[in-house]
Amino acid sequence: MGDFNEILSSDERSGESTGSQRSMFEFGEVINRCGLVDLGYHGYPFTWENGRDAEAYIQKRLDRAVASTSWMSMFPLCTLDHLQSSYFDHVPILLHTDLGRRQACIRRRPRKFEEKWSIHPECEKIIQKVWDQVNPDGSPMYAVCEKIKQCREELYRWYKGISNEFQEKIRGKTIHLANLVASNSMGENNDVIVATKQEINHLLLSEELHWRQRSRMVWLEAGDQNTKFFHNFANQRQRTNGIQGLRNEANVWCTADNQVEDIAVAYFQDMFATSHPTRIGDTLTVVEKVVSEETNQRLLQPYTPEEVRAALFQKHPSKAPGSDGMSSFFLQKYWHIVGTSVSTVVLFVLNSDSQSAFVPGRMITDNVSVAFEVLHKMKAKRKGRKGEMVVNLDMSKAYDHVEWSFVEAIMRKLGFVEKWITMIMECIGTVQYSILLDGVPKGYIIPSRGLRQGDPISPNLFLLCAEGLSALLKKSNLEGQLKGLQTSRWGPWVSHLFFADDSLLFRKASLAESQEFMEILKLFFADDSLLFRKASLAESREFMEILKHYEESSGRSKRSIFNGLEERIVRRLQGWKEKFLSKARREILIKEVAQSIPTYTMNCFCLPKTWCDEVNSLIAQYWWGQTTDKRKIHWLKWDKLCSAKEDGGIGFRNLHMFNTALLSKQCWRLLENQQSLFFQVFKAKYFPTCSFLDAKLGSSPSFLWRSFLSGKELLLKGIRWTYKPGSLPQLKWSETQSGKFIVKSTYQLLEKTMREESRGESSSSQIFRWLWRRVWKLNIPGKIKHFIWRVYHDSLPTSHNLFRRKITPNPFCKICDQEEESTTHALWKCAMAWNTWALVPGHVQKLPNQGDDFARFMLWIFQNFSKEEVEDWAITLWAIWTARNCYIFEAHQKSPQHIRREALLLLREYRQAKTPNSSL
């Protein structure tokens, strides 16, 4: 705790600074290697200032507190306050470790459905009993709600009766297991030991589900011993989300429960209260009907039970439980019981008689590309009497301030049929809110405006509202009062572009256009139906950051433009929580989280290869693991890890290749979407007299256009033209059966090209591709699949491999001391391993001698064994390796019988855990 004289991310500084990006990353790496986590803060974000004026003024957060996970477990609700100082350039910081303040009052939290209940067979029996026996009087909707409510009460009552025994059961079973093992000299307790271990693992799975549900880690599943990870993440969420106090309208800091509740409820009541707009008609006079009768007929097609089920199963099981505490997990898990009743009720309501970013063929990157091209033209402008300007219109709390009357009116003006309008208004108008204060609902808010965040239809409805502003701007353009800007002499005029709740407005820097522009804004925002202040989505914020850095780059290296992306990836991988993940779960984190962060940017811009290589290096370091003093061995090259799984890799993305594949998608769209503004802007500027396929770099090309052309060569390898008599040639993509362009197929084309250039295709490569497809489909734990992968690539830390890297003094086996410990020796030839294989039934002992080529040996196993036998073989390999490590690092030698029993137990438990509704 104190002055570290360094920052962890760029948002911890304000003003121009010459700080090194590398030193910032190294500081984060030191924090990570020491197993520490930043404790955050309350108050002003910066703790140091240089005291200078104007542009030379710099602020940074140099003072902080960091702690280990064990310390945070002791003080899970600790807080750090940034105080004020009138004498020094640093502010004092104050750490609170007491658990008092707002913890004095113990609140009764609402009852919620716990996912861990579902692994008990009794849970489903209770639900089935309630659903069969409870038949309340009233409407079908009321009956279903009452059944769900009764399920919650019965389940809670049942689990309350057994929860007090939970930890006692774990302790009791553990002691019982120790006694059984101690008295098992002749193997007479083997069956009882297996059964006891199953019961213990069953209880531990329940605990893991408990902490996973509270961690909200939606990309990671339970069942692979990630309990410590989930537990730490849940504690971190509790500390981060805790509310210590709020400031009232008089700017007074309030910490009492009733004061905090009153402030929060009053704030949201005011936010969701209608302003009673009166000038909606003035805006809608210029909106034209665009919805056809055919579209309306499609919207009114009757709904089916299959659509109800599909909609429900699209929801994440653990997110946003209803006011009754029953999450989507309850309905999805027990759909075979509740599905018919729920579908009947929903269909009764939906089918009753009483009841541009989202335009098909258009992508949000279209507006990004057009905006970037316009700004590039403005940046390159060197002459002319009239200036040009762009206005970034950020709408504050945009969804929360949408007036329902405006939504209804503009839908009617656009031509939607009345029944559809009524259904949409029912969706947005039948909602009530409560404030969760430390997990307890407070207040009761009935809104009269606003769209729900996270609702799939909200972005579409918001764009319908923005159509009113778009219509006003188009009308002014047609009348010549606002012209917008052009990227080339014959290009289209661009006056405005929408990005969800952000807008870019382009115009000439003249007094007349400024006055007209302000009149339009006053008309559209007259009734406070939408506020325009600072607030933006992640995508547009990222885009604006890139534009800002591009503007400042002035033709120099574009490497610094993407530093913000690298920071986000580093922070995600350096988090203390991620160190608790197994190898299989690290793979998921890298693929689903870390490598997905730059995807949005790579859709438009060609990231420098040096940037991609540096990020690949950071990910590789995380994959192979870190120690407190040095980096672990990288057993295989990164290019091998990026190979497809069927080619013997892990399937990580090669960022540079993936970037090229995404850019080729933009090239495809320049060929296919020739009616879009996106195409018209680039056509007029870069290839006005030819096809895109013949386009050249041209004069004064933008960074965006250079990026697009970097994907053109790949596009040319996969396009083909089809000819039918009496019709025009059609463009097709040769890498898919449908002829439609898919980025995945493009990336695979790049992989195939690189593979052919490096070693070519052969019959043996096809055989091993068949082998890897079988490996990854085995019904065994993910960590063991990764172990098999390492066995095949001879990347285990055997004595032989460590000796080759000059880490150990000799290559001999530490168990038998007879031969060099190669992979084959450790897992097959060593006496401990061979005696274990002698206990495996079948023809394992008669396998042909493959020498030290374990890869060929593994291929023979897969070609001659059944799937179940291969799974048994793989699990036994794992058990032998863990027994070898136990002997070397813990000086404990396991008998072959013990190793074999552990392998069988692990395989049986995994299969039972993966079987729906199975009881351990």
Q: Would you tell me which CATH number, out of the four given (3.20.20.70, 1.10.620.20, 3.30.360.10, 3.60.10.10), belongs to the domain 2-99?
A: 3.60.10.10
Point out the least confidently predicted range of 27-41, 407-421, 572-586, 712-726: 572-586
Cβ-proximal residues to 476 (8 Å cutoff; 6+ apart), any chain:
482, 516, 520
Does residue 594 surpass a pLDDT of 90? no
Give me the pLDDT at residue 626, please. 58
Average pLDDT of every residue of the chain:
79
Give me the pLDDT at residue 218, please. 45
Does residue 580 surpass a pLDDT of 70? no
Longest CA–CA separation in the chain, Å: 99
Point out the least confidently predicted range of 304-308, 348-352, 870-874, 879-883: 348-352
Percent of the chain with pLDDT over 90: 14
**Crossing angle for the helix pair 335-350 and 140-163, nearest 10 degrees?**
150
Point out the least confidently predicted range of 60-74, 96-110, 653-667, 726-740: 96-110
Distance (Å, whole) CA 820 – CA 818: 7
Does residue 541 surpass a pLDDT of 90? no
Cβ-proximal residues to 212 (8 Å cutoff; 6+ apart), any chain:
115, 220, 221, 222, 226, 230, 318
Q: Identify whether the C-beta of residue 270 lies closer than 8 Å to the C-beta of residue 433.
A: no
* Reported confidence tier of residue 802, pLDDT bands at 50, 70, 90: very high
Point out the least confidently predicted range of 34-38, 395-399, 657-661: 395-399
- Tell me the DSSP string of 351-394: T-TT--TTSTT--HHHHHHHHHHHHHHHHH----SS-EEEEEEE
Q: What pLDDT, in 10s, does the model give residues 60-92?
A: 999 999 988 778 777 877 888 888 776 678 888
* Reported confidence tier of residue 823, pLDDT bands at 50, 70, 90: very high
Cβ-proximal residues to 797 (8 Å cutoff; 6+ apart), any chain:
633
Q: How crowded is the C-beta side of 157, counted as CA atoms within 13 Å?
A: 8
Give me the pLDDT at residue 353, please. 44
Distance (Å, whole) CA 761 – CA 766: 8
Does residue 539 surpass a pLDDT of 50? no
Q: Identify whether the C-beta of residue 425 lies closer than 8 Å to the C-beta of residue 535.
A: no
Collapsing DSSP states into helix, strand and coil, what is residue 218?
coil
Mean pLDDT of 662-668: 92
774 or 319: which leads in pLDDT: 774
Mean pLDDT of 776-803: 92
- Cα-based angle 255, 261, 267 (whole degrees, multiple of 5): 110
Q: How far is CA 573 from CA 162, 538, 633, 653, in A?
A: 39, 19, 18, 16
Does residue 535 surpass a pLDDT of 50? no
- 3-state SS of 679-747 is HHHHHHHHCCCCCHHHCCCCCCCCHHHHHHHHCHHHHHHHEEEECCCCCCCEEEECCCCCCCCCHHHHH
Locus of tokens 């030379």 = 56
Give me the pLDDT at residue 814, please. 92
Give me the pLDDT at residue 220, please. 43
* Reported confidence tier of residue 668, pLDDT bands at 50, 70, 90: very high
Residue 39 is given by DSSP the state: -
Does residue 705 surpass a pLDDT of 90? yes
Does residue 632 surpass a pLDDT of 70? yes
Does residue 357 surpass a pLDDT of 50? no
Give me the pLDDT at residue 706, please. 92
Does residue 586 surpass a pLDDT of 60? yes
* Reported confidence tier of residue 177, pLDDT bands at 50, 70, 90: confident
Does residue 316 surpass a pLDDT of 80? no
Mean pLDDT of 581-596: 81
Residue 326: count other Cβ atoms within 10 Å of its Cβ: 18
Cβ-proximal residues to 670 (8 Å cutoff; 6+ apart), any chain:
678, 679, 682, 683, 692, 708
Point out the least confidently predicted range of 73-82, 356-365, 689-698, 704-713: 356-365
Q: What pLDDT, in 10s, does the model give residues 185-229?
A: 666 677 777 777 777 766 666 666 655 555 554 444 444 445 554
Does residue 662 surpass a pLDDT of 90? yes
Please state the separation of Cα 514 from the chain's center in Å. 42
Q: Which of 224, 181, 171, 3 lies closest to 785 in space, CA to CA?
A: 224
Q: What pLDDT, in 10s, does the model give residues 7-24?
A: 888 788 887 665 667 788
Give me the pLDDT at residue 385, please. 62
Give me the pLDDT at residue 361, please. 52
Does residue 538 surpass a pLDDT of 50? no
Distance (Å, whole) CA 117 – CA 123: 6
Give me the pLDDT at residue 876, please. 94
Q: Identify whether the C-beta of residue 721 lies closer than 8 Å to the C-beta of residue 706.
A: no
Does residue 176 surpass a pLDDT of 80? no
Q: Identify whether the C-beta of residue 610 lies closer than 8 Å to the C-beta of residue 602.
A: no
Cβ-proximal residues to 20 (8 Å cutoff; 6+ apart), any chain:
none
Does residue 295 surpass a pLDDT of 90? no
Does residue 230 surpass a pLDDT of 50? no
Give me the pLDDT at residue 99, please. 52
Distance (Å, whole) CA 394 – CA 403: 18
Which sign, positive or negative, has the C-alpha torsion 690, 692, 695, 698? positive
Mean pLDDT of 367-376: 85
Domain locations in the chain as residue ranges: 2-99, 117-241, 243-272, 280-302+351-355+364-536, 549-559+572-761, 765-913
657 or 245: which leads in pLDDT: 657
Does residue 110 surpass a pLDDT of 70? no
Give me the pLDDT at residue 845, please. 59
Could you tell me the pTM of the whole model? 0.71
Torsion angles phi and psi, residue 185, rounded to 5:
-65, -30
Give me the pLDDT at residue 437, please. 78
Give me the pLDDT at residue 919, please. 43
853 or 242: which leads in pLDDT: 853
42 or 94: which leads in pLDDT: 94
